[in-house]
Homo-oligomer: A and B are copies of this chain.
Amino acid sequence: MSSSIGENLRLTLFGQSHSSAVGMTLEGFPAGFTLNPDTLSRFLARRAPGRNAWSTPRKEADAPEFLSGLVGNTTCGVPLTAVIRNTNTRSADYSLLRTIPRPGHADYTAEIKYGGHQDSAGGGHFSARLTAPLCVAGGICLQYLAERGIRVQAHIFSIGEIPDEGDPLISAVENEFPTLSAERGERMKALIAEKRAEGDSVGGVVECIVTGIPAGLGDPIFGGMENRISQIVFGIPAVKGIEFGDGFEASRRTGSENNDAWILRDGQVRTETNHAGGILGGITNGMPLVFRAAFKPTPSIARTQRSVNLETGEETELEVPGRHDPCVVPRAVPCVEAATAFAVTDALLGRKRELEA
C-alpha cells in the first residue's frame, strides 16, 4: 500500500491537505520508550510554514494529538497514531485545478488515476502537508536513535547554483536557515527573495549525514540502506534525484580513486576516505552514512503558465491561485531527517532479529 512504508516498523500516512486532519500510524515501535514532547515540538516547528520570509505565509499550529499508543508519554507497544487538524480547509475553490491542471503538479495524474474522484483541494493527499505527519513519525525515531548515539542531521547543500560550504561532520547546523556557512545561507536567502519577487521559484539539494550508525544495518539486494532510504525520500514531494556517498561523481572516477581503503582508527575498522557514503553492498560499514536529495523548484509560481482545459479539450492559460513557497528546500531539511530516521530505525529493529542464531 503506497501510503505505508517499512518492514520492521510500519508507517502509514493519511489525510489530505483540506480533509479534517492529516496523521500517521506507526506500528512496531518498541514498548517502553518515553517520548519528549518538547523536543518533538521543536523538531516539528522546523518544518512548519509561515515562520519567515522564505516560506508560504499559511500559518499552521501543527500540534499533533496522540490518539493511541502512549501511556502518558511512554509507548505501550501497540500502534501509535497521531493526528494534526487541518484548520483552514475548503476555504478556496479548487475545482478549477481538476479542469485545468497546474504544470509540474499532480493535478492531471491524479485526475487520470482516480477517474475524477480525487480530492484536488490544496493538492489532496499529494500535498506537502503530508510531510507534517512524516515529521511526527521521524521525530519520534530521531529521539529513539539519539538515545542510541545515532545522530541524523541534514543541511542545505545548495540552492540553485549556490553551494553551501563547510564540513558537515564538524559544523553544527543550528541556525534557522540550515546551512553550514552563514554567509552562504545569506546568499541563498537573497536568491530565494529574488525569485519570489520575480514570481518564480528555485530548487536545491539537501545533504543528510548519519553519524554514530553501527556497521551491519541494511540487507542485501532490495533491502539495502540505499533502497530503503531512496524509497522513503522519494515520498517527499519535489524530490527528483538521490545519490549516496559520491554518487554521480563516482561514475566519473576510476576504481583506484573511488575505493575506500580499510584502515584501523583507535582499534576500529574504518575507511580512510568515505566515497561510499558509509554503505557497501547495501549495508552500513560503520562510517557516516551520507546522501543528497535533489529538489526541483516549486511548480507553483505566480506567472501565467500554459495548460489544457480537460473539459473543453482546448489549450489555455492558467494562473495558479494562492501563495506558495518560492523554495521548498529549507523546510525540506527536517523532512529528509525524518525520513532518514525512520529508515534507520526500521533497519535497526530488523538487526535485532538477527543477533545470535
Contacts and interface: CB of A to CB of B under 8 A. Distances in A.
A232 B227 CA distance: 7
A282 interface: yes
Contacts of A13: 79, 221
B352 A32 contact: no
18 contacts: A1-B79, A12-B25, A15-B67, A15-B81, A20-B67, A23-B68, A31-B113, A31-B114, A109-B283, A112-B215, A203-B254, A231-B231, A240-B251, A241-B244, A246-B296, A255-B300, A258-B296, A267-B313
A70 B21 CA distance: 12
B222 A315 contact: no
The oligomer's copy count stands at 4
A63 interface: no
A316 B313 CA distance: 58
B269 A108 contact: yes
A353 interface: yes
B296 A251 contact: yes
A145 to B, nearest CB: 13
Contacts of A258: 104, 203, 296-297, 299
A108 to B, nearest CB: 6
Nearest to A147: B357
Nearest to A71: B119
B71 A3 contact: no
Interface string A148-161: 00000000001011
Given A221-B130, A280-B106, A14 B83 contact: no
A263 B313 CA distance: 10
A250 interface: yes
B215 A81 contact: no
A334 interface: no
Contact of A81 (B14, B27, B245): B14
Contacts of A349: 353
A260 interface: yes
A166 interface: no
A317 to B, nearest CB: 10
Interface stretch (A38-46, A53-61, A177-185, A302-310): A302-310
A64 to B, nearest CB: 12
Interface string A183-197: 000000000000100
A221 B4 CA distance: 8
A318 to B, nearest CB: 8
A354 interface: yes
A305 B108 contact: no
A300 B4 CA distance: 37
